[in-house]
Structure 1
Amino acid sequence: MKKIGVIDIGTNSMRMLVSQIKNGKALDSYKTLQITRLGEGITRGIIIPQTLENNLYHLGQFKEQAIKDGVEDILVFGTSALRDAKNSEDFIKRAKDELGLFIKVLSGEEEGIFGFIGATHGLSKEATIIDIGGGSTEFIVGNKEGKIPYSLSLDMGALRFAEAYVHNDPITREEVYRIEKRVTSIIKDVPLQFYPNKKKNIIGIGGTITSLAAIKQNLEVYDTNKVHHSIIFRGDLDIFLKKISPLTLKERKRIQGLHQGRANIIIPGTIILKEIMNYFRVEKLTVSDRDNLEGMLYYYLSKKNFKKSL
């Protein structure tokens, strides 16, 4: 048996999945998360120097932990923040030179595909995936043969909109309205083939959606088994926003089920999901705790043509 590590350098957080592999299948796995906010300053199109250093530090810490745990191969990928930042090559070069880690920056379409592979593993592939991240939102449509005819990435994310629209604590009604209006202006141009089909599974992934599932269940400690395959109804979002919108950041950090590092972006992320579900008349979605981390691992195990570190 061998161990493989997968690191996702996201816009709001950095995550690592470590899995033990036997006969080409992932067995025991664990995840580690660190709020790193690589996308801080995303509206200016750059990675802030202090943020760059912080992310390099935590990337190095993840590598050390992986080696200590006996990981033989490490796969590293980046998403929206590294796609958009003008100075992302500086970060990628330093990761390679200083840490010996090769980072693959996924296109929006690739991000959606890997999210689909992870979210539908062990389920019917005839599904629509909605992935709300820190910097972008992906719509992925799969058919029953497991193929992905349509994948779309949109520049709307929880951290991106928090930086662009939220300047008061607590958030004002005007700021909520501006986010709602912006989301609607983006999704109204989504082609018809991406409209969620009620006959298919509608699956939600990403930190906003898994956080909402944990909050709904009032989880004192995040439990992947309780979050995975739980249900979020459209009506849940109105209730949740009515409850938390008047709260200050300090008060939101005390919400049971919510990681403190997500307290500043949970409202914009929830508004994005609410507007999507309202616009497309989605009454409920199934939450998946499996996403592009697992998708990258499953793809690597099946193809093994992904450039790895170590």
Structure 2
Amino acid sequence: RAHDADEFIRQIEQELQLPVSVLSPQQEATCSYLGAISVIENFKNKRFTVIDVGGGSTEITLGQGQEIVKHASLPVGASRLAEAMDFKVKLGSSDRMGLMQIVKIELEKIAFWNEIDSSRVLVGSGGTITTLAAIHHGMERYDAQRVSQTVLDREQIWKLYYQINDLDLEERLKLPGLEAGREDVITYGTIIYLTIMELRQLPWIRVSARGVRFGYLMKKDW
């Protein structure tokens, strides 16, 4: 929580003449989960693993329909891994293997790690996976609906990783679908997804461009 959060909220309420409510960490996790799974048809009857790779952390949630069953936050994210490597642009195989080992160590601390398997629908949300989907489609203009209809298999994600990793930063910015500001961390975030999918032998992932805001609209009883 920012040190000036209360003052910021007061200013917003004064400017907009509207009350502001702040989500608790649990409410935020619930909204993020609901938003992510909302792209799946008949989601109320399915079991999910939802992964959101952020800059400083990775959130992993197991759910049954609209209910969160278990949740873990890992202290590894795209930016954090990049910082550990001094934002090295082109990663060698030893770099990649070292990073995957770092991620593996954190993953194996999760109490429900062995419950993550292919019997659950795997959903990815957040900037890393939506960017990979946009690059996969060669999007000149971002299309959230099309991104949310994307299924990427593990082999496709490996191909995207190698495609991006072979480029310098300027070349990456020319890739249709890659938003400026992600060019230096996209490979690191991709490594996190690949580590999870390889270790648990998960064949594919459904991409979701929906998150907290959409989930909040689904959860109107707060």
- Same fold by TM (over 0.5)? yes
For 2:32, give the aligned amino acid.
Answer: G
SS of 1:131's partner is: strand
**What does residue 60 of structure 2 align with?**
139
> Of 116, 120, 133, which residue of structure 1 is paired with 2:33?
116
CA contact (8 A) 1:128 1:202 kept: yes
SS of 2:206's partner is: strand
Aligned in 2, Cα 1:159/1:193: closer, same or farther, shift over 3 Å? closer
**What does residue 245 of structure 1 align with?**
165
Pair 1:218 & 2:138 matched: yes
Instruction: Quote how far apart the aligned CAs of 1:297 are.
Output: 2.4
SS of 1:214's partner is: helix
Q: Aligned partners of 1:194, 1:89: CA distance in 2, in Å?
A: 38
**What does residue 276 of structure 1 align with?**
196
Q: Aligned partners of 1:214, 1:240: CA distance in 2, in Å?
A: 11
**What does residue 151 of structure 1 align with?**
71
Runs of 5+ unmatched residues, structure 2: 15-19
Q: Aligned partners of 2:212, 2:72: CA distance in 1, in Å?
A: 15
Give the number of the structure with larger relative contact order, counting CA–CA contacts within 8 Å between residues 6 or more apart: 2
Residues 149-168 of structure 1: per-residue CA shift (max 9 Å, x gap) = 21111111112222232333
> Of 46, 51, 59, which residue of structure 2 is paired with 1:130?
51
Pair 1:170 & 2:90 matched: yes
SS of 1:274's partner is: helix
Pair 1:203 & 2:123 matched: yes
SS of 2:71's partner is: strand
CA RMSD of aligned residues (A): 2.3
**What does residue 96 of structure 1 align with?**
9
Aligned in 2, Cα 1:183/1:111: closer, same or farther, shift over 3 Å? farther
Q: Aligned partners of 2:126, 2:110: CA distance in 1, in Å?
A: 20
Residues 71-112 of structure 1: per-residue CA shift (max 9 Å, x gap) = xxxxxxxxxxx5xxxxx314x2452354448573653x5443
Instruction: Quote how far apart the aligned CAs of 1:188 are.
Output: 1.7
For 1:190, give the aligned amino acid.
Answer: I
For 1:124, give the aligned amino acid.
Answer: F
For 2:209, give the aligned amino acid.
Answer: D
CA contact (8 A) 2:59 2:74 kept: yes
Equivalent positions of 1:46-57 (< 5 A) are none
SS of 1:287's partner is: strand
Aligned in 2, Cα 1:110/1:180: closer, same or farther, shift over 3 Å? farther
CA contact (8 A) 1:211 1:259 kept: yes
Aligned residues: 213
Most deviating of 170-179 and 243-252 = 170-179
Equivalent positions of 1:172-187 (< 5 A) are 172-187=92-107
CA contact (8 A) 1:140 1:194 kept: no
Aligned in 2, Cα 1:172/1:106: closer, same or farther, shift over 3 Å? farther
Aligned in 2, Cα 1:110/1:99: closer, same or farther, shift over 3 Å? closer
CA contact (8 A) 1:238 1:274 kept: yes
Runs of 5+ unmatched residues, structure 1: 1-81, 83-87, 306-310
Instruction: Quote how far apart the aligned CAs of 1:178 are.
Output: 3.0
With the length of structure 2 as denominator, give the TM-score of the two structures.
Answer: 0.84
Pair 1:289 & 2:209 matched: yes
CA contact (8 A) 1:112 1:139 kept: no
Equivalent positions of 1:20-59 (< 5 A) are none
SS of 2:43's partner is: coil
CA contact (8 A) 2:49 2:121 kept: yes
Q: Aligned partners of 1:93, 1:261: CA distance in 2, in Å?
A: 30
